[in-house]
Amino acid sequence: MNSKLVSSRSLAASFLVLACSGVARGQGATVYGAAAWGVNAYGQTDVPATASARISDIAITLIDGYALKQGAVIGWGSKDLDPDPYGGLDIPVDAQSGVTAISGGAYHVLALNAQGRVIAWGYNIIGQCDVPSAALSGVSSIAGGGFHSLALKSGEVLAWGYNDDQQCDVPVAAQSGVSVISAGFMHSLAIKASTGEVLAWGRNETHACDVPVAAQSGVSSIVGGFGASVALKAGRVLVWGGESGTAEQIGDVPAAAQSGVSAIAAGWDHIAALKDGGVIIWGSDDSVYSSLTNVPADGQHSVAAVKMSSYNAMVMIEVTDCDANGLRDQDEIFAGTARDNNSNGLPDACDIATNPALDRNHNGILDGWEIAQTPALDSNLNGVIDGVEIAALTAANAALTAQLECGDLDGDGEVAGSDLGLMLLNFGPCSR
């Protein structure tokens, strides 16, 4: 491994989180975009505009970020690696359409297509991208570990790749009846559908595979970190294992994460929980990681899913894309490619499309904003641009004139009975 790229410690947990089976999909017209923060050595938190709206899943490795957009995997990062020796951004043709879920390992990526086929690419020195024939159809869930891969097929866990710690030696109990999977850096996790029991196997130097009694029933979600395991039970976060020096910090679950949690994620020395649409992060208090633990605005509300790498977090958040161009409205407004003169977070063009009366002079600009900038445009202070009123009055006057011309056929200035005879004789400007 190239020491210039990543130290042995930074190999942590980007095998990701929540993951294994993708993330919750929105209902109806809900639109999601990606946002990320934390240590950004390789640009993995620099989410591109193309991933800012209309995505359905996210993944992150040690050096790259990924999103699933309308069935296609898009990626970014590795900005200081030229060429990229791991190939994570060389997205294969098979992953550019028809994909339903994605998951990231340390330097490799997994995708699942609509036919239940697993697609893998990236760093493959230990076979983590050599998808076995059993995983080429019928798979319902995927999870990328440090250097190994997991898939769930008809309740059976399939595993391949690095196996020095037996993380790919699937125990008998995990060969049937499994509903959820997750891959830690060097260990694997599964949940039994019938009981909610967590199964764990692989490296256990940090006790990540010593499942506590509380996690032996009723668990709904699991994630593996570098040396720890995390479970979600009835809205409460359970943590066991962890590296020396941080095990106590990550295991000290804050009160806010002991109820009402809907999703979990794990990094190297940190745990994340999703509660009421906002992300809670705890673990190492080393100030060097403050960019991760200080959750930005994008992670504090409207979050649908969260994933973590070593010292990064990525979320899928509810956004607006009112013009359906695949770009987040807020980003377009910030970049100046869309107007938001009424500061409501939506492009003016979308406001006008919803309510055409907001732009009665049809110039693409909100009338109220035009009047605020140039009060003389509304000299009678009735909220309507004078030009619009004049045009309306002119049109009304023309209509009245036409009516008069058609009714006053004898030209005496009034419409009377004398005009009726002329009308019957088909006389005048309105004759046919």
pLDDT-above-70 percentage for the chain = 75
Q: Note whether 363 and 305 are same-domain residues.
A: no
Residues 315 and 368 reside in one and the same domain: no
For residue 411, being part of any structural domain is answered with yes
Do the domain assignments include residue 432? Answer: no
4 within a domain of the structure (yes/no): no
Shared domain for 395 and 307, answered yes or no, is no
The predicted-structure confidence for 264-308, as pLDDT tens digits, reads as follows: 999 989 999 999 999 999 998 888 888 999 999 999 999 999 999
Report yes or no: 389 and 360 within 8 Å, Cβ to Cβ: no
Q: Are residues 244 and 391 in the same domain?
A: no
Six-digit token string for 391: 């045009």
Asked if residue 162 is part of any domain, the answer here is yes
Structure confidence at residue 24 (pLDDT):
32
User: How many Cα atoms sit within 13 Å of 81 on the Cβ side?
Assistant: 22
Q: Hey, how many other C-beta atoms are within 10 angstroms of the C-beta on 416?
A: 12
Q: What is the mean pLDDT of residues 400-425?
A: 60
CATH number for the domain including 182?
Answer: 2.130.10.30
Q: Is residue 333 part of a domain?
A: no
DSSP string, 297-351: GGGTSSEEEEEE-SSEEEEEEEE--TT-SSS-HHHHHHHTSS--TT-SSS-HHHH
Is residue 199 included in any domain, yes or no?
yes
Q: Is the pLDDT of residue 104 over 90?
A: yes
CA distance 68 to 170: 29
Quote the tokens at residue 331. Answer: 């980003």
Q: Where are the beta strands (DSSP E) in 166-289?
A: 178-183, 187-192, 198-202, 219-224, 228-233, 236-241, 261-266, 270-275, 278-283
pLDDT of residue 324: 77
Whether residues 365 and 224 share a domain: the answer is no
Greater confidence (235 vs 356) lies with: 235
Residues 162 and 239 in one domain: yes
Q: Look at residue 331 and tell me if it is in a domain.
A: no
Query: pLDDT tens across 297-333, in order?
Result: 999 999 999 999 888 999 999 887 777 777 777 666 6
Q: Are residues 299 and 365 in the same domain?
A: no
Alpha-helix residue ranges (DSSP H) falling in 110-251:
247-251
Count of domains observed in the chain: 2
Query: Measured at the alpha carbon of residue 240, what is the angle toward residues 9 and 24, in degrees to the nearest 5?
Result: 85
Q: Is the peptide bond before 83 cis (omega within 30 degrees of 0)?
A: yes
Both 266 and 314 in one domain: the answer is: yes
Chain segment 168-186, per-residue pLDDT in tens: 999 999 999 999 999 999 9
Last residue of a domain, one of 285, 319, 353: 319
Pair (308, 346) in one structural domain: no
Question: Which of 262, 288, 319 is the last residue before a domain boundary?
Answer: 319
Answer yes or no: do 149 and 212 share one domain: yes
93-107, 108-122, 282-296: which range is least confident on average? 282-296
Q: In terms of domains, do 43 and 155 share one?
A: yes
Cα–Cα distance between 431 and 213 in angstroms, integer? 96
Residue 429 maps to a domain: no
Query: What is the pLDDT at residue 313?
Result: 96
Task: Of 283, 280, 281, 285, give the one whose Cα is nearest residue 301.
Answer: 280
Q: 185 is in which domain, residue-wise?
A: 9-319
Indicate if 295 and 389 belong to the same structural domain.
Answer: no
